[in-house]
Amino acid sequence: MNATISRMLTYIPSIGKQPEDVPGLALSGSGASASLTDITLYVSVSGAATAIDLHSRSVSQVTGLLPSGVTGSVLRDGPAELLLWNGATSGVQSGALPVTLTLAASPLWQILAVFARALQSRRRALQSGVAQINVRAANGMWLDWWAASLGIARHAGEPDVLFSARLIGTTLEPRVNGTAIEALFSALGYGLTITDAAGSFMADVAFPANPSGGFTYSHAQIAAILGQVKAAGVTANISFLSASSDLFSLSDTASGTTPGGPFVYGSSKYAETNWA
């Protein structure tokens, strides 16, 4: 938002580019840094970045979204979209904490901010819409639409990040060989090691300690995924590395393919109901 306002001011004759501003938000934290880009505030602690969307939020609301280890003090409340990096309107707006962000206070900036917010909102909507035509960037209902087109169903409670990785890994990415299968499960957050043998392989599966979105695939769902990506005619012996380890074996003599194209070798008959 700040860069948008700056660009608008550039084309107004006899108007200074530096806004009238007052201290608005003080950020502090050991080993932390921050940067400000348009209407997004990025705060990094130990290499982990948190993106805070300033759209339609107040300065005080922003302080409640700061990551652990970073403290925010409200010096003057107001629309967070009017926050500036030490009065700068362009160029690099980032640095190590502590730092004080200022708040644009002039009426001209606040009036222009109304138009800038509207333009930014339209741009965000367009970018989101364009992203949905790419299966790798789609989310929500559009991800479900792509999945339905490829013959894949979302499991109850399966978050977008995992569903997208599973959808792409079982239909668009290379598979069949052990390296590809291990990469698929790594994208899902699972440790999987494959040991090949003649006409079969052993798949040792380790569940994640912190599953994405709190979602964990069941033994049956994992078996179904392996059934989709293994080669036809190859037996997959699945060992779950847990206190109550079970052993499943997947084998078939069919040469059918899973959805996604003729290059997908495996059998689509391994539905979860077969392993309930």
Q: What is the pLDDT of residues 177-197, one digit of tens each?
A: 888 999 999 999 999 999 988
Lowest-confidence segment of 88-92, 95-99, 130-134, 231-235 by average pLDDT? 88-92
Q: How many domains does the chain have?
A: 2
Is 270's pLDDT higher than 70? Answer: no
Taking the C-alpha atoms of residue 28 and residue 101, their distance in angstroms, rounded to an integer, is 11
On the 0-12 / 13-18 / 19+ scale of CB atoms within 10 A, 231 is middle
Whether the pLDDT of residue 146 is over 60: the answer is yes
111 with 173, same domain: the answer is no
Among residues 131, 157, 173, the one where a domain terminates is 131
Tens-place pLDDT, residues 197-209: 888 888 899 998 8
Cβ atoms 64, 16 nearer than 8 A: no
Q: Strands of 105-241 (E only): list them.
A: 191-197, 200-206, 235-240
Q: Which residue has the tokens 């107040």?
A: 58
Q: Do 82 and 110 meet the contact criterion of CB atoms below 8 Å apart?
A: yes
Q: Are residues 86 and 147 in the same domain?
A: no
Residue 30: give the domain boundaries. 2-131
* pLDDT score at 164: 93
Cβ-based neighbours of 220, under 8 Å, separated by 6 or more = 272, 275, 276
At which of 106, 131, 156 does a domain end?
Answer: 131
pLDDT tens-digit series, residues 93-114: 888 999 999 988 878 777 877 7
Domain's final residue, options 131, 164, 180: 131
State whether 94 and 20 are in the same domain: yes
For residues 162 and 215, the answer to whether their CB atoms sit within 8 Å is: yes
144, 105: one domain: no
Query: For position 245, what pLDDT does the model report?
Result: 46
